[in-house]
A and B are shown apart, each in its own frame.
Chain A
């Protein structure tokens, strides 16, 4: 049985694992590459590589490609170099190596089998690490990534089986030799040790080829990054259009960069941007002023339909919590409870949000109903009017420089680094 495993099953499993990993990595890389035009596209996020995901079913993959773990060199290249590119070369190498083992059978040397087994640990460990990050940092799994993990596991399983079969082969050959019974199959050649560095070099060359080709052909985004220009009326010290808020508990010793963040507390994209800025380590380097812009027609005359009903109440709660230095806590609470608050407002009406606010932050109700609070919110809304901004959230401003919406996800690190070189992303 072990003979059959070593001869067929193990290398076949390796071939399948490598091809599956390659297919999913290729699909993921194409999705990533498509976004280099700075637009939002549908993702091929599914267990069938290359097949487009159903609407709304690609959130896991989107979270993954926008995360800091999706690419390297993100401050050098817009969007960075996706790590799936390394997987392309790696799986191509393993597919070829496995095909060799499959076709060679017992003619494959011991060094070849052992090297394949040893090298297959690499993709397996990387996949384990990425799965851990998905679970603990992103809180979601992307199907394409899971396909790559599956391919790595299959590849590693085949490699382990091949290694075990080789061990059995060695021991049974020794036992057969001692018993001197039926003619034993010819012993597997040990092979030449000198080939091992050669295989390693091939693996390195294969792994590097797609990233190098990608980096060489990636378009220049510099002109586009600056295209959103400057706003004529940035928030100054005397302005009532913004709310100073320390969005991080860490106080950086470095001089902070003045930033204005225009947000809707019930907007998922705002939450995503907030968390990206936090994860990347930017928030702690920013002197942030928040401008509340609820996409809710009950307080925002620019909104013709309620995109986020209840957002006005949350915004007013933030304004009322500001004197107690609790505005950020209200915002973080709203972000954490966003799905619940949105669904409650849609099913029971926006007024139902008041109960949740009172439950978590008692004593804000009276202030929220005051005209002065509405006036403060109107002042913030006028920031958008005065600067002729799009009616959308989130919007990010570095001083008076408007960071284009298209540069706040995949290209965030590169764009911020270009527009404000003093801002440094956290290393991962």
Chain B
């Protein structure tokens, strides 16, 4: 080999290697750049990551959600509406369900709920009621909404009982507002007052988690506010 031969071979080898690796790296960089702009193909095959949300349990049936939606959108849970709570007729019309079916929707909440009993014609919360409310409120877990369904017994005129059940629902709301100072309370707590003419509870509900245990009957159970977190999304 001529004396300059090794120099030429080595030089060409060096240039070849350097050019080859540089071009291949540049090609990979450009390909990555194209994927970056286009959105990587791997993204399509990658498992989609869920977005954090409130809990939703199996009792959130379409019927249950219908009632829930009624309360949320028409009763002020959106936080922008001017009024809170529902008229009994609204629930009847929009939910289109019987008293029995309405009450049945809440059956899965038996362990999660409390039934706060009031004295006859009264709307004030006693200590036992406040304790039960505190306990239920603390058991939020992943729930989005806190439901208060207030009723009145059959005793007395309809208008009086409607107003009374409204006051009972408000008593719960005012207590929560006063106790927890939660700025988002209006978006969490849904109030329903049913008076005496819709979805009355029967005596079997006395076996639920009620306050005033030991003195509950078919009349007492409706002088009440049913309270529970609801694990449903809308």
Minimum C-beta distance from B112 to chain A (A): 13
* Also in contact, A302 and B53, with CB within 8 A (given A107-B6, A214-B29): yes
Name which residue of chain B comes closest to A303, CB basis. B50
Expressed in whole angstroms, the Cα–Cα distance for A176 and B51 within the complex equals 84
* Also in contact, A37 and B33, with CB within 8 A (given A103-B6, A213-B26): yes
Contact check, A41 vs B42: say whether CB atoms are below 8 A apart.
yes
Chain A residues 85-109 with CB under 8 Å of chain B are 85, 88-89, 92-93, 95-97, 99-100, 102-104, 107-108
Expressed in whole angstroms, the Cα–Cα distance for A127 and B51 within the complex equals 45
Any A CB within 8 A of the CB of B214: no
Minimum C-beta distance from A143 to chain B (A): 19
Contacts of B50 in A (CB 8 A): 302, 390-391
Contact check, A391 vs B49: say whether CB atoms are below 8 A apart.
yes
- The residue among B32, B35, B42, B55 with the most chain A CB atoms within 10 A of its own CB is B32
Contacts of A92 in B (CB 8 A): 14, 17-18, 21
Contact check, A34 vs B28: say whether CB atoms are below 8 A apart.
yes
Expressed in whole angstroms, the Cα–Cα distance for A26 and B18 within the complex equals 11
Any A CB within 8 A of the CB of B108: no
Report whether over half of chain B's contact residues are helix, strand or loop; otherwise say mixed.
Answer: helix
| Contact among B15, B21, B54, B231 for A210, CB-based, below 8 A | B21
- The residue among A35, A102, A210 with the most chain B CB atoms within 10 A of its own CB is A210
Q: How many residues of A contact B (CB 8 A)?
A: 54
Contacts of B3 in A (CB 8 A): 107
Expressed in whole angstroms, the Cα–Cα distance for A13 and B205 within the complex equals 89
Any B CB within 8 A of the CB of A326: no
Top 3 nearest A-B pairs (CB, nearest first) are: A96-B14, A301-B142, A219-B33
The chain B residues found within 8 Å of chain A, CB to CB, are: 1, 3, 5-7, 9-11, 13-15, 17-18, 21-22, 24-26, 28-33, 35-37, 40, 42-43, 49-55, 138-142, 231
14 contacts between A and B (CB under 8 A): A33-B29, A34-B28, A37-B36, A85-B25, A88-B25, A92-B17, A95-B17, A206-B18, A214-B26, A302-B50, A381-B52, A388-B52, A390-B52, A392-B49
